[in-house]
Amino acid sequence: MLTINSIKNGIVIDHIKAGFGMKIYKYLELDKADYSVALIMNAESSKLGKKDIIKIENNLEMDFAVLGFIDPNITIDIIKDEKIYKKIKLKLPTRVENIIKCKNPRCVTSVEKNIPHIFNLVDEKTGEYRCAYCDQIYQDSSL
């Protein structure tokens, strides 16, 4: 089994749905990082079967709403002196802004520039969101 050592100070993004680790890695632009980053894919998990994990040897400012939108089952562990200092459990955000683009060609966001794309969560089980302006439905099929 592969062993990745603990980090002294930083962030561990855990319980990522298998295959989604790279999506988060790219979103956080960790390929441009000048500090240690470990992306572990398809690790064994008693809860999920397989999961991805990202360990970051640095404290980053990150948008938890976006991470919750990508995968609502993620947990974030803030590490200080090789111990978990704080644990954050994510969930689907009730509102997202400029994360999803409305695909309705008649929506005001398609016609006017500089209007934020706002979607509100309407069904947590299916991950269904609706555009705040035109009610266009967005449903992530990967949830």
Contact assessment for residue 38 and residue 4, using Cβ atoms and an 8 Å cutoff: yes
pLDDT in tens, 29-86: 999 989 999 999 999 888 889 999 999 998 888 888 888 988 888 999 999 999 999 9
Q: What is the mean pLDDT of the chain?
A: 89
Environment class of 113 (CB within 10 Å of its CB; exposed 0-12, middle 13-18, buried 19+): exposed
pLDDT for residue 1: 54
For the chain, domains (ranges, CATH) are 10-89 (3.30.70.140), 95-139 (2.30.30.20)
Tokens of 71: 């995968």
pTM: 0.78
Residue 24 belongs to what H/E stretch? helix 21-27
Contact assessment for residue 80 and residue 29, using Cβ atoms and an 8 Å cutoff: no
Environment class of 129 (CB within 10 Å of its CB; exposed 0-12, middle 13-18, buried 19+): buried
